[in-house]
Chain A
Amino acid sequence: MARILIVEDEALIALSLAMTFRQRGHEVRTAGDGVEALEALTDFRPTVVVSDYAMPRLGGAELTRRMQARRRAAANRDDGHLIVLTAYDEDKLKADGAVYDRLLRKPIAEELVVDAAELLMHQPAALTA
């Protein structure tokens, strides 16, 4: 079992993802935007973060940069792997300078998101620019 943080402002997408992760035995917390996600990183200590990109308040591009900065500020901090789950294509994220472990494009079957997370959670975190 792993701790999964789902960052998603579309409530129904968050719900269907959370349900699928729980069915596969994982502990799940959800956040509605990047601000809530940053708060959850400290007390929930996720193994994998699955984050939307276009979100209110603090979006995915800034969230990925903040996670990267947290890792650099404390070498042993482990915020978990980051999967960006977005309708944007890779060119857009590269242009924004986003840093992530895996990009998955919406719409995608929830089971495939869980598969990708389970693959990552057995690897050491390597969120580097």
Chain B
Amino acid sequence: MSEHLAGRHDGDGPSWSDGDDRRPPAGCGGVGRALPGTAACRPVEDRLRQALVTHEALVHELQHRLRNNLAVVASVLALQASRAGTADAGALLRRSAERVRRLAVIQDLAYASFAGGCVDVDRFVAGLAADLLPPDGPIAVAVRLATGGRLPLGSALTLGLIVSEALANIAAHAHPAGSRGHARVEGGPSGETAWIAVADDGAGVADGAEHGLGPSLGFMLMRQLTGQLGGRMTVERARGTRVVFTLPLPQIPPPSA
């Protein structure tokens, strides 16, 4: 514990040692309960504002560094792919590079949907759909999400990996190269849980893919990660493929404006 938090006296905030230049002036906040905006509080408020600006700049810089580092990792995998001994090995490495690039998208969208300590699941998943199946691409995606779910950041990133795998599967495999198709991303509450479905009208997936049979790493990842969130995954095959994720999504009230 910080020495400034030791021996706190009012239960609402830190106590301050004598001579500490961060100590608020008498009459401000926890010391004398002056009103915010008064002259007594202004120095503390100025410092808080400055700290907030610094904090936001730091978060932006960290996000930039993270994206840049992911770009380096993806470049290494792309270089490795160019030196792969077989076409299959090269393709696997290129797919790995693509997964690394998707991590950056997931991170960005999770932070963009983050408020009050949680990620707005509907906004986050809709953003993933728009990014991974863009409007100018061959797959037209319709999004209808009303789970109302909110997840802590770590769980939301896992959900992002799940949904992005499903969307990437559609982009890569649902339709032969160059042909057009449709996808749907839907979701809603279901008692104590919520469901999110990612569907397409494409070629369909092989029997047993969701159970790890066949070459699809994507389905294996989706299944494992869904289990990590305490949920389950089912695959429906009718006029394409519909993958349904049933997840415990807390209905945490959003922060007040």
Contact = CB atoms under 8 A, between A and B. Distances in A.
A125 interface: no
A106 interface: yes
A16 B100 CA distance: 15
A106 B68 contact: yes
B71 A87 contact: yes
Given A54-B64, A87-B67, A109 B101 contact: yes
Given A16-B78, A19-B82, A110-B78, A10 B72 contact: yes
A106 to B, nearest CB: 4
Q: Identify the interface centre among A12, A15, A16, A17: most chain B CB within 10 Å of its CB.
A: A16
Contact of B72 (A12, A19, A109, A110): A12
Interface in A73-129: 87-88, 92, 105-110
Given A19-B82, A92-B60, A105 B67 contact: yes
A107 B79 contact: no
B48 to A, nearest CB: 23
B70 interface: yes
A1 interface: no
Contacts of A88: 64
Nearest to A92: B60
Nearest to B94: A109
Chain A contact-residue range equals 10 to 19
Contacts of A105: 67
Contacts of A107: 67, 70-71, 73-75, 100-101, 104
A92 B60 CA distance: 10
A16 B101 CA distance: 14
A69 interface: no
A18 B67 CA distance: 20
Contacts of B79: 12, 15-16, 19
Interface string B88-100: 0000000001101
B203 interface: no
B149 to A, nearest CB: 26
A110 B101 CA distance: 11
Contacts of B60: 92
B76 interface: yes
A12 B101 contact: no
Q: Lowest 9 CB-CB distances: which A-B pairs, in order?
A: A87-B67, A107-B71, A106-B71, A16-B75, A107-B101, A87-B68, A107-B74, A16-B78, A87-B64
29 contacts: A10-B68, A10-B71, A10-B75, A12-B76, A13-B71, A13-B75, A16-B76, A16-B78, A16-B79, A17-B75, A19-B79, A19-B82, A20-B78, A54-B64, A54-B68, A87-B64, A87-B65, A87-B71, A87-B104, A88-B64, A92-B60, A106-B70, A106-B71, A106-B104, A107-B75, A107-B101, A107-B104, A109-B78, A109-B97
